[in-house]
Amino acid sequence: MGTDSREGFPADGEGPERVVRVDPFYIAPYAVTNAQFQQFVEETGYVTEAEQFGWTYVFHLFVSEETKRQVVSVPQATPWWYAVNGAYWAKPEGLDSDIGDRMNHPVVHVSWNDAEAYCRWSGQRLPTEAEWEYAARGGLERKTYPWGDLLKPDGEHRCNIWQGKFPVKNNASDGYEGTAPVDAYKPNGYGLYNMAGNVWEWCADWFTPAYHRATPNANPRFEQPTGIRSMRGGSYLCHRSYCNRYRVAARSSNTPDSSTGNAGFRVAFSAID
């Protein structure tokens, strides 16, 4: 687990590389879809945090001229994100959008707390970082991506990431400007789809850059509250010029009540209680 490669971000704590053991577990082959999340909402009446706050972050190229009137702020450090009033999982780009043709795409605009609520309803849980990375590797060791060390083996796109000049032009040569269906591209060696790119996936751990030094080698999980939760896998907005965190050892984080148009989750559960 982890990496000593210089491709990574030292501040993220991607290493040092080490041998880790995890108990047997199951993990979903796909991220949770809009259809699955809709069933959860319909059965429980759950209201996501984006809906409670009244806004969430939408990538600027997806915001219509009409919706731009609903933009409440633009972060200085990341001006490609627009805080859009009325955007949430079922209206991912604002009130003039819908998910009618994206029911098999990953649900987005879900916070870590929202993902936990879904897990409680479904009788499952979020994977730990160690479980997620073990699953993402698909049986390969010391490889950069879930399929090997080349980003595009034989010129073939294997994941949904930014193609072009970030953040102004995405030529979508991999087939998608935004999210892709959860079963897009080839699965890894364990039959798991989109463990790189598409959407960031929440993990169970609190985030710390000291993760690899602060957790044991057997079933590691960082449980000391830090105010931010771990995310893995990268998203359709990742690009080598800015954020090449679609590598299997890469890590990121966000506050547990945050939601964006490129963050979702997949579920897991233990094979042995």
pLDDT in tens, 106-156: 999 999 999 999 999 999 999 999 999 999 999 999 999 999 999 999 999
Q: Inform me whether the pLDDT recorded for 273 exceeds 70.
A: no
Ranges of each domain in the chain = 10-44+124-270
Instruction: Indicate whether this model's pTM tops 0.85.
Output: yes
Mean per-residue pLDDT, 77-83: 96
DSSP string covering the chain, please? -----TTS-GGG--------B---EEE-SSPPBHHHHHHHHHHH----HHHHHTEEEEEGGG--TTGGGGEEE--SS-TTEEEEET-BTTBBTBTT---TT-TTSBP-S--HHHHHHHHHHHT-BPPPHHHHHHHHHTT-SS-SBTTBS-SSGGG---SB---EETTTEE--TTS-SS---TT-S---TTS---SSBSSEEEEEEEP-TTHHHHS-SBS----S--S-EEEES--TT--TTT--TTSTT--EEE-TT--BTTEE---EEES--
**Chain segment 201-230, per-residue pLDDT in tens:** 999 999 999 999 999 999 999 999 999 999
Q: Which CATH class is domain 10-44+124-270?
A: alpha beta
